[in-house]
Every structure is written in structure tokens, then in C-alpha cells.
Amino acid sequence: MLAKSARLTESGDFARATKSGIRYSSTNFVGYLYLGELDEPARAGLIISKAVGSSVARHRLARKIRHCIFDNYASLPTGSLLVIRGLNNSAEADCKSEIATVVANLVRKAKDHAATK
């Protein structure tokens, strides 16, 4: 479980990450990483579409994704905002490997982006 200080809860933070952040898409997930204030801890949030399935299926998927984010949380840059969007067929996906790939690619893109500045 992510600590309360590590969770995205405000709609403005979700909007900032999804509109202005770095994006990486996989088959079942889209990840967004926004590089923000360096003096704050990284924070993460989820967006699960109703197209995934029933409420039970969406909450099951959210728990899986949260667990995968927890495993990859240490690799996130300080002050970043991470949003993972679960797409239509993500309920049957291998979350662990796919989320790890999404997070790794987002962090790599963020480092490449920072190096070019």
C-alpha cells in the first residue's frame, strides 16, 4: 500500500500529469510522468475506465496496479507525479511485468528529457 503522502488525490494533479507529462503506452496501460517540485516525494495515482468491467473487476485491477506501483515506487524521480491509466482489456493483463515496463520507460524518457535541457 502506498503511503498517504505518496498518493495523488487532487484532480489538478491528475490533469497536470496527463496533459503536461511524459507519456508511454503499452498494450493495456498508459503511463504519464510529470516532473515537478524536487522537494516533495513522488506521488502516484490511477485512472481505471468503466470499460474494464464491473466495479469488482475495476477495484481488483486497481489493487493489482497499486501493488505494482509500490514495487516500482523507489525508481520514480523525487517530486514526480505518476498516473497509470488502465485500458479496456487490462483486467486480464500481466500487471506486474507491464507496469514495471511502463514505469521503467517513463523514467528513462524523463532522464533523456532532462539531459537534453
Q: Give the residues across from 25 on adjacent strands.
A: 30
pLDDT score recorded for residue 39: 84
Reported as a single tens digit per residue, the pLDDT across 86-107 is: 988 887 888 889 999 999 999 9
Nearest to 84, CA basis, from 3, 37, 21 = 21
In the chain, % helix, strand, coil (3-state, to 5) comes to 55, 20, 25
Phi then psi dihedrals of residue 73, to 5 deg: -60, -40
pLDDT at 15 over 90: yes
pLDDT at 76 over 80: yes
pLDDT score recorded for residue 105: 96
Reported as a single tens digit per residue, the pLDDT across 52-65 is: 989 999 999 999 99
Q: Mean pLDDT throughout 15-27?
A: 94
Going by pLDDT thresholds of 50, 70 and 90, the confidence category of residue 4 is confident
Domains of the chain: 4-116 (3.30.230.10)
- For residue 37, the Cα-to-chain-centroid distance in whole angstroms is 17
Helices (H), the chain: 11-20, 55-72, 95-116
pLDDT at 8 over 80: yes
| Contact in structure between 81 and 46 (CB atoms under 8 Å) | no
